[in-house]
A and B are shown apart, each in its own frame.
Chain A
Amino acid sequence: MKKIAFSTTGQTLGAELDPRFGRSIHFLIYDLELESTQLLDNQQSRNAAQGAGIQAAEIIVRAGADTLVTGHCGPKAFRVLDAAGIAVYNCAAPTVGEALIALRSGSLSPASSADVEGHW
């Protein structure tokens, strides 16, 4: 685990963890080694009529993340993330910072499938 992507409505570690993956406002990438953050915009996926989850998954893969922490992840996005070898963690923590603490403490376990149905 080196680079962790979080879905978020804000821009910092103190911001809300966005429960949506495909239509999350931003992705905050946290680099565990450098202890640095990088903010990615998800506007294009948010505006897509269909396939937002797939597009968001592409953003995560291209950013070089190996781990994703989000609220929920649908079947199409999960297929893309799984194929790219990205570990997906579903988390109900209110903020990105708290989700990071939960992940590092080992209290989250990786998802083996999508946790919600696909929707249009």
Chain B
Amino acid sequence: MVAKTHGRAARIAIASGKGGTGKTTVSLNLAAMFGAPVQLADCDVEEPNLNLFLRCEQLTSTPVTMLIPEVDANRCTGCGACGELCQFRGIVSLGTRALVFPELCHGCGGCIRVCPSGAISENPHQIGTISVGQSRTIRLVEGRLEVGVSSVSPVIRAVHQQLRDDMPAILDAPPGTSCPVTATLLGADYVLLVTDPTPFGLHDLKLAVATARTLNLPCGVVINRAGEDQVGLYQYCQAEALPVLLSLPDDRQIAEITSRGDLVAHVLPEYGLMFTELADKLQQEVLKVAGGRA
């Protein structure tokens, strides 16, 4: 896939509203059948798992830090301006010296700007780790959040920064539609939404489509565990002009192969073909987007 947007190789996010639809399975198998060197980004930084399958021999790790305020007790007058500004209770001041709670700080630096006595400085605080490795044709970029840290989005943005511009990328997003998902999607050109034909699957697909459209991103759909459609999933996709790029059958073999840490596209040729076709269709979809922008 060589389609370029924004002057760099295409980036495709694999997302879903509902968890457990098969984002990771689709991401891995698509990357394996991509037909060209590709980057695979693990943006599910609260529980990254792509390397369980890729098993890169060597990972190069770099820390992700966020600037956290530090208060000089001798200069703090306890005026309370910093605590009044902070909506996250990362810094609290109630007529006494300001207290910092690093795990609640979002690193915006606002407290430093409003402090009238120059009592606040900033120090880097590790919130995560980025690991880069190579497995066959796949360049893995994995984000991993530190235990006890709640600032997920900065770690996801750090994953984006480690991606190369000259190679396409598949971004494995976390589930849901909250900040970590939008942080992942903001670096993408196209969103592939994985869902299943259940009431919950359809309900959350609608939320995910609304999220992608709010961000002006085109989307396509993968239906996993496709079987009898009792909820009108295909009708919904048709009515919303969402192309269904792949339907994966409800096949026990997929679960068995995946649970062993293998890729179904490598083990079963018919699935290899399906993911090769998915890669081709995505190329056409992304070209349409690039053409629309040009």
Residues in A lying within 8 Å of B, measured CB to CB: 50-51, 54-55, 58, 61-62, 76, 79-80, 83-85, 120
With contacts A80-B99, A83-B99, A120-B150 taken as known, whether A51 is within 8 angstroms of B94 at the C-beta atoms is no
Residues 54-91 of chain B: 1 if any A CB is under 8 Å from the residue's CB, otherwise 0? 00000000000000000000000000000000001100
- Across-interface contacts of A50 in B (CB, < 8 A): 88-89, 104, 150
With contacts A54-B89, A55-B89, A120-B150 taken as known, whether A83 is within 8 angstroms of B96 at the C-beta atoms is yes
Tell me the chain B residues, 204-257 only, with Cβ under 8 Å from chain A.
none
Q: Complex: how many Å from CA A120 to CA B149? A: 11
**B contact face: mostly helix, strand, loop, or mixed:** loop
Whether a CB of chain A sits under 8 angstroms from the CB of B200 is no
B150 near A51 with CB under 8 A, answer no
B101 near A51 with CB under 8 A, answer yes
With contacts A50-B104, A76-B101 taken as known, whether A58 is within 8 angstroms of B92 at the C-beta atoms is yes
For chain B, give the interface size range: 10 to 19
B104 near A58 with CB under 8 A, answer no
Contact of B95 among A54, A55, A84 (CB under 8 A): A84
B88 near A84 with CB under 8 A, answer no
Whether a CB of chain A sits under 8 angstroms from the CB of B97 is yes
Q: Complex: how many Å from CA A76 to CA B91? A: 11
In the complex, residue of chain B having the shortest beta-carbon distance to the beta carbon of A49: B150
Q: Complex: how many Å from CA A94 to CA B133? A: 58
A-B contact pairs, 17 of them (CB 8 A): A50-B150, A51-B88, A51-B89, A51-B101, A54-B92, A55-B89, A58-B92, A61-B94, A61-B95, A80-B94, A80-B99, A83-B99, A84-B94, A84-B95, A84-B96, A85-B96, A120-B150
Residues 92-109 of chain B: 1 if any A CB is under 8 Å from the residue's CB, otherwise 0? 101111010100100000
Q: Complex: how many Å from CA A111 to CA B47? A: 37
In the complex, residue of chain B having the shortest beta-carbon distance to the beta carbon of A83: B96
Q: Complex: how many Å from CA A80 to CA B101? A: 10
Q: Complex: how many Å from CA A61 to CA B95? A: 10
